[in-house]
């Protein structure tokens, strides 16, 4: 049956990839709710916006009246909740927005969804799902010899960002257990790919490299992340949202652990080949080590065995092919990236803001 989907944060990096995926596979009608903050990219929705099954609404998940109206008038039977403040550095410098959006906003969204679901009857009520999209950072960090996170991992957040996402995970689980709301939760590893805002590592390094600026790496660059191509994540989210049983939780990862320094050097090598410096030297010469950020988690890793086994999801992109596809996209879309650079957007040495905030 065709679904009627509300995607919160659908103009964001992961949200827009999910919207493009849903429209492309003909899942049903897709309504995007996004307040268009600094990280939003309406251009990422341009292709989807040409579909008659698409609608965009500018608004805040904390506006319960707006959310309730959308749920009713669109007869929504699937909410996929991605609206969130997501950048760790920003959460350290200014945590209030993270509490307001990720915790209070999720609460208001849950209340609106619960009221909508309780008013449904029969098959419509049985079909409804509330899918909350979260992060592996809620689990804290791992030592290099530790087993990866999975669905049974405990919570031990390190930053205001991860603490706010942990709180929202708990709210969603509680609304499922207390009120019976049919909820789903997924926790993903680091995403990368087209349309990512350049305060995140990979697009920032590409933008800085091409602009002749320093390539800032925290500490010694030893911190390890598990990298997941955003289109693979979108496919996983669609599977969970439409096929998983109420109450299910899935860990979604790319099986691609890399240190930050390895990622930066890999980007330099790709740029050396695809867009060489005018002086013929390697972009590696621009790498600069900066003071580590407070509470910097050492390692994240995810074991995605459950979603692979139960839902048949498998990543399409390994890290090397995904990283090259990512670099090629940014090189082919310099106009998109230049709008951030022109505004001086998050391209300063990574440690500067945090040294002032700490």
Residue 291 DSSP class:
P
The encoded tokens of residue 202 equal 């990979």
Percentage helix, strand, coil for the chain under 3-state DSSP, each rounded to 5: 50, 15, 35
Catalytic residue among 137, 150, 199, 231: 137
Active site residue 257: no
137 annotated active-site: yes
Burial per residue of 120-150, b for 16 or more beta-carbon CB atoms within 10 angstroms, e otherwise: beeeeeeebbbbbbbbbbbbbbbeeeeebbb
- E strands within the chain? 3-8, 28-34, 54-58, 78-81, 129-135, 183-188, 190-192, 215-218, 224-229, 249-252, 257-259, 287-290
CA dihedral for 184, 185, 189, 195, sign (positive or negative): positive
Residue 302 is classified by DSSP as B
> Is 136 designated active site?
yes
Catalytic residue among 54, 60, 85, 161: 161
- Selecting among 34, 60, 85, 136, the annotated active-site residue is 136
Residues involved in catalysis:
136-137, 161
């Amino acid at each position: 049956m065709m679904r009627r989907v509300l995607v919160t944060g659908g103009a964001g990096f992961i949200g827009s990839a999910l919207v493009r995926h849903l429209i492309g596979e003909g899942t049903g009608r897709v309504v995007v709710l996004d307040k268009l903050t600094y990280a939003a990219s309406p251009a990422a929705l341009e292709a989807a916006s040409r579909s008659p099954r698409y609608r965009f609404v500018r608004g805040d998940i904390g506006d319960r009246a707006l959310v309730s109206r959308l749920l009713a008038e669109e007869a929504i039977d699937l909410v996929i909740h991605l609206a969130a403040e997501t950048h760790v550095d920003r959460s350290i410098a200014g945590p209030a927005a993270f509490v307001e959006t990720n915790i209070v906003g999720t609460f208001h969204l849950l209340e609106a969804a619960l009221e909508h679901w309780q008013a449904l009857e029969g098959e419509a009520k049985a079909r409804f799902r509330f899918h909350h999209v979260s992060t592996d950072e809620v689990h804290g960090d791992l030592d290099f010899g530790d087993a990866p996170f999975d669905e049974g991992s405990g919570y031990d957040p390190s930053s205001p960002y991860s603490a706010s996402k942990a709180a929202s995970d708990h709210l969603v689980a509680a609304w499922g257990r207390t009120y019976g709301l049919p909820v789903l939760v997924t926790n993903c590893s680091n995403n990368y790919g087209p349309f990512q805002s350049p305060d995140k590592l990979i697009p920032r390094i590409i933008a800085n490299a091409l602009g002749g600026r320093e390539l800032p790496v925290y500490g010694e660059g030893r911190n390890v992340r598990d990298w997941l191509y955003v289109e693979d994540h979108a496919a996983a989210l669609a599977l969970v949202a439409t096929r998983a049983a109420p109450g299910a939780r899935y860990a979604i990862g790319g099986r691609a652990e890399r240190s930050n320094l390895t990622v930066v050097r890999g980007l330099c090598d790709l740029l050396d080949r695809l867009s060489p410096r005018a002086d013929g030297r390697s972009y590696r010469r621009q790498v600069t080590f900066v003071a580590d950020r407070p509470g910097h988690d050492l390692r994240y890793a995810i074991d995605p065995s459950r979603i692979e086994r139960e839902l048949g999801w498998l990543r399409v992109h390994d890290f090397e092919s995904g990283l090259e596809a990512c670099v090629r996209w940014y090189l082919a879309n310099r106009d998109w990236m230049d709008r951030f650079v022109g505004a001086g957007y998050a391209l300063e040495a990574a440690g500067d803001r945090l040294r002032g905030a700490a």
